[in-house]
Amino acid sequence: MKSLEERITELEQRVAYLECVIKESEFDKSGMPGTETADKETERAMLIQGEVRRKEPAAAIRTQPEEDKESKNEGNKDKEALVGKYLIGALAAMLIFIGAISFIGLVWNRMTPEVKLLIITSAGAILTGLGFWLIRTKKNPITSIILGTGAGLLFIAILSANLAFHLIGNNISIFLAGIWAVFFILSSRYTNLFFTTIIAYIGSYIALLLGLTLIQGDMDLLVMALFVSSISAVMLYKTFKGNKTELVTSIVLSIVSYATILFRCYMDGAAGAEQLLDSYAVQTVTIIIVYLLMNLFYKKINHGGTTPAYLGVSVTTTILTILYISNLSDNYLDLKGITCYILFFAVNLVQFLLNSVFYKEMEKWLTRYYAVILAAVSFLINVKLYQVPTGIILIGLLLVASERVFKKEVHSLLIGFIILFDSFFLISNYSDNLICSVYGLIQLGLLVYVLWQSSSLKKYKQINILKLIGIAVIMMNSFGIPSNVINCIHAPHISRYTDNAAGYFLAVLAVIALVKVGYFKNWENEQFKFWGTNDSLENDKKMHRLVCLLTTILYFYGLSEIAAADRTFLRLIFTLAVTAVALMQSKIILSDNSRYKQLTGIWIVLKYLILTWTILWAFLDTEIASVVYSIVGLIVAIGSISVGFKLKIKSIRQYGLVLTILMVAKFIFVDLNQENSITRVFALIIGGSLCFLISFIYNKLSQNYS
């Protein structure tokens, strides 16, 4: 069976043949001589051309698997060569090395220390010289392994001369290790292998660890710092104008060496050990060098498409700074906690500003990291200064200022979460310090700015998140700020429900204002205006559900506070606020063309019935069996039926009828057994009158409605 490509080729041949036939027929009609001969020749040429075209794809189809097979074989050969060159070569060096050690082990105990050292040194020197010569003539993995083995033996010779054979002192051993490291780092220029630099660094780091375990005072620490500085300087000098990856690696390795020195200083005198260091000058210079290296690291990777993996250097530097300040306070200067926090804050603030100015390509993640650090320190500073766990909103202001000054990327979500957390801290404490209210007002102002900025920049993906954050912040601050102000007054006669009443009233006013300005509308509409009313815009479905849920929560919270408040004027404030919430929610629900109209109608009427009964119970302290509840229930039923006819909502009318029947049943079976004769008479008269009124409404309005 022919393939699809062969069929297409055959079809193209036939089309071309038909075109030639048509042209020949037109040519015949024009009366040109030699038509029959030309026709045959044309047909023969077309058949030959079609055969060639038919064979070409087939050949291509046949050769494609062969090419894939060849490429696959080449890949297998590359893997095979890799194993043969590197793995087998490394195994060969290891076996030879083990064999040499085994041979030496047979006669090792019979040798003097000098002979042993001479053997190790000679073997290292021979292998090193051989490795250099081979790399200069023909560079391959085997020569690199030989060079590395020789370098390792030389380093072992230096350490064993000090630790095993005791032929040289500690300082001389470290000095020789430094010369060894510098030699191999510089030799990488001739070998063109960064591999030798790595070997030299590993040896120098081992020498550093040895030296740090042997230090006895500040002079020894200074020697180790100079040792690390020399190795790092040579390493950076060698790689500065070369490959960027090698330079970045050298910077990271240098930071590791300096970090080791700082960690050793932090452990000085720890766990009851003797404190050997009397000065913090070397430590201060070391932490400054670490920050210089970190900024050099940022500069070199600033223009590359790097990932946030570079934050590992930032985290390391932050930890080292904490250790340095802690060590400074505990062992040298006896700093107060607030001084340590301010010092740490200042260091990170300077780095934050440097990031904004010099490292714009990677500023996004650096800003997030240092903003979190600064926020945490700001939190601790406020706890120390004002005894209140808040104040991170100041970092939000810093982010806004840096965006405006340095024209940086807008971090709206980061600022939004800072506002949210600071608002949560505000409401979770009961401080009497007015700084909390100041921070609360700053939170609200910054929230408005972030929402306006996101709306102006049309960042619709994050607007809904910011709006959710805004609702939470506004609700928490509505309660938090009045509570802080009232606590600051220190008036013992003020009821403990006063701050709740003030906060609830402000929260209700805030929700009404947000509904009025279109906060819950669709902000993606082109007609949306941030500073103005947006009544004509369509609802945002998610925000519509949110406002319904929010008003329901406020409704039930207000009911509970009406029942719990211990002052009449406080109950009145709660009553007015709950009534406003109920009316606002009813308007929102009725304006929505929902398919659940029956349920919403029932909820609307039930809501007002619960509200009126709660008011009666709170203000009059009447029992549930009282006829007052029944009369009020009939009044609510009348209102429901009237509203149901006016708004043409059947469920509201039906609920009014059901409520009427229930209240009449309550009259008969519950209330009449609990009241005296005069109350019973008045209750029956009022109840009958209300039922008559309901019947009159139905008779009149049902005709108009029909």
Burial of 484 (0-12, 13-18, 19+ CB in 10 A): buried
* Per-residue pLDDT at 58: 42
Identify the pLDDT of residue 80.
62
Residues 678, 141: Cα–Cα separation, whole Å: 113
Angle made by CA atoms 459, 461, 467, in degrees to the nearest 5: 85
CA-to-CA distance for 579 and 551, rounded, in angstroms? 11
Q: Are 159 and 178 in contact (CB under 8 A)?
A: no
At 374, the pLDDT band (50, 70, 90 cuts) reads: very high
Residue type, 153: L
CA distance 389 to 217: 42
pLDDT of res. 139: 63
Q: Which residue has the higher pLDDT, 427 or 599?
A: 427
Whether the full predicted model's pTM is greater than 0.85, yes or no, is no
Token code pair at residue 510: 């805030």
CA gap 411, 371 in Å, rounded = 10
Are 411 and 394 contacting, i.e. CB atoms less than 8 angstroms apart?
no
User: Using CA atoms, how far apart are residues 15 and 368, in angstroms rounded to an integer?
Assistant: 66
Binned at pLDDT 50, 70 and 90, residue 234 comes out as confident
Position 32 pLDDT exceeds 60: no
**Two structure tokens written together for 371:** 């903003």
Determine which of 44-58, 339-353, 406-420, 659-673 has the lowest per-residue pLDDT on average: 44-58
Long-range contacts from 385-390, C-beta under 8 angstroms, 24+ separation? 385/338, 386/431, 386/433, 386/435, 387/431, 387/433, 388/425, 388/429, 388/431, 388/433, 388/435, 388/436, 389/425, 389/428, 389/429, 390/422, 390/425, 390/426, 390/429, 390/436, 390/439
Res. 410 pLDDT band, cuts 50 70 90: confident
Residues 508-564: pLDDT tens digits? 999 998 888 888 888 877 777 777 776 667 777 788 888 889 999 999 999 888 888
Confidence (pLDDT) at 36: 47
Does pLDDT of 473 surpass 90? yes
Q: Quote the tokens at residue 318.
A: 């932050």
Handedness of CA 422, 427, 432, 438 (dihedral sign): positive
Domain boundaries, the chain: 4-91, 169-335, 360-490, 600-706
More confident residue, 75 or 396: 396
- Band the pLDDT of 207: cuts 50, 70, 90: confident
Q: By the 8 A CB rule, do 208 and 224 touch?
A: yes
Q: What pLDDT shows up at residue 35?
A: 45
Q: What is the pLDDT of residue 556?
A: 92
The predicted pLDDT at position 341 comes to: 92
pLDDT > 60? residue 607: yes
**Contacts from 194-202 at CB under 8 Å and sequence distance 24+?**
194/239, 194/243, 194/246, 194/249, 195/144, 195/147, 195/148, 196/147, 196/148, 196/151, 197/235, 197/238, 197/239, 197/246, 197/250, 199/148, 199/151, 199/152, 200/151, 200/231, 200/235, 201/231, 201/235, 201/253
Calculate mean pLDDT across residues 223-239: 82
Interatomic CA distance for residues 614 and 25, integer angstroms: 103
- Which pLDDT does position 319 carry in this prediction? 92
pLDDT band with cut points at 50, 70 and 90 for residue 661: confident
- How open is the CA angle 546-582-573, to the nearest 5 degrees? 115
- Owner of token pair 């509840």: 629
Average pLDDT score over residue span 606-621: 76
C-alpha Rg value of the chain to the nearest Å: 44
Is residue 305 scored above 60 in pLDDT? no
Least confident of 63-72, 99-108, 141-150, 310-319: 63-72
Beta bridge partners of 21: none
What pLDDT is stored for residue 103 in this prediction?
61
Structure tokens at 214: 């042997």
With a CB cutoff of 8 Å and minimum separation 6, the contacts of 102 are: none
Amino acid sitting at position 389? P
Question: Can you tell me the distance from the alpha carbon of 200 to that of 180, in angstroms, rounded to the nearest whole number?
Answer: 7
Give the per-residue pLDDT at 348. 93
**Whether residue 85 has pLDDT greater than 60:** no
Higher pLDDT: 485 or 635? It is: 485
Q: Within a 10 A sphere around the Cβ of 95, how many other Cβ atoms?
A: 10
Answer yes or no: is pLDDT of 258 > 60.
Answer: yes
Q: What pLDDT does residue 88 have?
A: 64
Specify the range with the lowest mean pLDDT, choosing from 455-464, 556-565, 676-685: 676-685
What's residue 135's pLDDT?
A: 67
The mean per-residue pLDDT over the stretch 338-346 comes to 92
Q: How far apart are CA 689 and CA 135, in angstroms?
A: 114
User: At 593, phi and psi to the nearest 5?
Assistant: -85, 70
Rounded mean pLDDT of 249-264? 90
- 333-357 in b/e form (b: 16+ CB < 10 A) is eebeeeebbbbbbebbbebbebbbe
Q: Is the pLDDT of residue 53 over 50?
A: no
Most confident range, picked from 18-32, 148-162, 223-237 = 223-237
pLDDT band at 670 (very low <50, low <70, confident <90, very high): low
Of 400, 496, 499, 488, whose CA–CA distance to 452 is shortest?
400
Please report which confidence band the pLDDT of residue 104 belongs to, taking 50, 70 and 90 as the band edges.
Answer: low
Task: Give the residue with greater pLDDT, 626 vs 429.
Answer: 429
**More confident: 103 or 410:** 410
Whole-angstrom distance, CA of residue 468 vs CA of residue 187: 62
Cα–Cα distance for residue pair 144/149, rounded to 1 Å: 9
Q: Which own/partner contact pairs does 71-77 have at CB distance under 8 Å and 24+ positions apart?
A: none
- pLDDT value, residue 403: 84
Weakest-pLDDT range from 51-65, 82-96, 286-300 = 51-65
> What is the residue whose two structure tokens read 């429900």?
497
pLDDT in tens, 244-256: 888 888 889 899 9
How far, in Å, CA of 283 to CA of 266, rounded? 9
Mean pLDDT of 18-25: 71
> Mind spelling out the 3-state secondary structure of 46-110?
HHHHHHHHHHHHHHHHHHHHHHHHHHHHHHHHHHHHHHHHHHHHHHHHHHHHHHHHHHHHHHHHH
Distance in angstroms (rounded) separating the CA atoms of residues 127 and 149: 7
500 and 561 Cβ atoms separated by less than 8 Å: yes
Q: For 154-189, what is each residue's pLDDT tens digit?
A: 766 776 776 566 677 766 776 776 776 677 666 666
Q: Tell me the average pLDDT of the chain.
A: 76
